[in-house]
Structure 1
Amino acid sequence: MTLITEIRLRKVLDSRGNATVEADVSTESGGFGRASAPSGASTGEYEAIELPADEAIAQARSLAIPRLEGQVYAGDQRSIDRTLREADETDNFGEIGANSAVAISMAAAKAGADMLGAPLYQHLGGAFRGGDYPTPLGNAIGGGEHATGGTDIQEFLAAPVGAPSVSDAVFANARVHQAVHDILSDRGISAEKSDEGAWSPSIADSEAFEIMAEATETVSEEMGFEISFGIDAAASELFDGGKYHYSDTSRTTDEQIEYVADLVTEYGLVYVEDPLEENDYDGFEALTERVGDQTLVCGDDLFVTNTDRLTEGIEQDAANSILIKPNQIGTLTDAFDAVELAVENGYAPVISHRSGETEDTTIAHLAVATAAPFIKTGAVGGERTAKLNELIRIETNA
């Protein structure tokens, strides 16, 4: 074992042009790791707290770094992350900020891998279980909090479930993204791009479903394997006063459950994220009972990568999948604990990027290390393709 000798923090840009935290971690044996924190726009009420970058850096330098430098061994991830929590002394990283905490946690993991001369995924989780790789979910049409004037549903996600390789899946998602653009052009519909690089046309959700069905079918025929799709409803952003408010209608909880269940059946959706608001365990339970044998009902705002909230969901059979975002909980250890609890109880872990991203590729390694069935990365854009290309490198170098 070798000690962490230096941690350096700096302010860098994320994909939205906002400031975020980057960490460099060095060890006494020459190991080095660098990582940067992403940032969400559609955030859950119970997420760990992200501080302004300057404040997060100052607080981490004062409270956390002195406890780590020369004190904690690189490669001992649980000790590193426990020290971060002890330095913060809150449940939600309200003192040093989840953005500083997760940047340090991920950089330390990379330094530990570098010290051992091993790929990060092996350092985090060992060799692949059964040689499986995650299927990337590619955001093709976006709205909600990610785009002004777009669809009410936040994300329409290509899911190349039949792809024979990660590379094939990556290129399939890129092709679906282009096919959506072509269909929009044919219909005379202009579209800007959302935070995650998806097209954000001013169309009704119903038309977006039609376009996604056409695009995935076309590309599936071209590439010779099944391409389905799914959604992130981000329903908490639609919920107010006991109803879900869409551009053309409002729905009660029972009506929302019926609506989503009908969509799963009509379009063969393989993934449904946050179909109900973030405190509605009963609604998630009812929907999962309806369609849980047909699709992944994934809790993001419901669970926020938090084992306490996931435990409550497990007790109620609410959802059958959990979205994993390390910055949502603050450390890699906490993220791993959520994955382990999920898998032990039959919930599928889905590793995810955020709408405000950097070129950091840690989540690609995390998805491989945990044998996650899916990873949300987006389909295009430098900070998105960084993760996708890293997945290809992992697969081809294994």
Structure 2
Amino acid sequence: MVVLAVAVFVMLSSCAFGCSGNTNSSELKLWNIDDQPLAVQLAAVYKELESLRCEQTTAQQQQNALHQMLITTHEKKRTKEVETTLLDYRINHEEEHNLWSSEEDSKPLVDPCYHYTVLDQAWRATNTTTKYKMCDRHAKWKGWYRLFYNGKSLQMPERCVPVNKCGTHAPLWLAGPHPKRRQGVVTRRVCGHWKKNCCAFKSTPIKVKKCRGNYFVYQFTKPTSCYLAYCADINTLVCGRCRRNQSCVSRDKINWRCKRKRRLLSRKIHFFASYPGQLSGKVNKIRYSKVLVNVGRAFNKRTGVFKAPVKGVYQFFFSTHTGRNGRKTDLWLVINGYWVAVSHTHVSSPSTVGSLSTYMTFLRRGALVFVTHNCGSSWANAASMTITFGGSLLAQRK
């Protein structure tokens, strides 16, 4: 019974300090429950049950708090995983989009020579006059166009067109030459003829390109006002019949014809000459009288001058051999009056020495080349050929 009394006291004390929060302590007394009345014993049992209920409630609250903390941690971890997945998807999607965008941007432009709209309207011809005037400002221009007349290819006029032609009041003509094929796409001005002024209307510029087959394509734009219309030159119908080895030419921009292109024949130009004797002091032009090679007959042995027969790249060489007098000796290569290269020797001791110089340059047809003896002394004989001059055509140009 003593043990039971102590246990009941401990439980009551725990409940008193843990549940009620009462900090007033009473004097500890050991007592025997069997010695107490029944009402006191029941009160002690009731307090013990209340203490057990209090401990159970506290444990339940702690368990709920721990469960809530676990749920919150799991949700945060799940949310972070979802955010990471979305971020990775966004990055991959943007990279893929950039890749496709860069591929699309890097695609080559469409060649207008193979992607154009046929513009076959008879009223546009330079010899056509209509009652109802047309205006290209009302047209919806888009892309490139090729001019035709009854199914035959032609091009815009390059000269002033009389008023009221081409089915309009002020005909539009190309104020500039058509480009060559190697020029690619070019921009040209367009003028409209009105009141004796060939360029009374300065319309917006257009783009032009020449294509294989001697035809042109145009990127037309809206004219500045009405009534203006683009012309198709009826005189250039012949240009559509020119072959690949022919070009369409005209002197007055009215009458056109197909002309065979001149083939560039490769010319062979080589020469080599020598002076079999001695030179001293200043000699304006060395006359190399002994000519060993003269392919193309461009070197004149009577004057010692080489005259370029064609335009191209040439290479020359010239040499000298000094005497035993110890003086310096200079030979100069002269092209069109300009001294461009020197062959120099200078030996102080009583001996001889030779010198050879080369020079490469671009010459136009008719250029004059020779060698001058500026100072010193040079010697040679028929066998040694130490005073020489020669050259060759390396590459011919158009």
Question: TM-score w.r.t. structure 2 length?
Answer: 0.15
| Higher RCO (C-alpha under 8 Å, 6+ residues apart) | 1
Determine which structure has the larger helix proportion and give its number.
1
Which entry has the higher C-alpha Rg, 1 or 2? 2
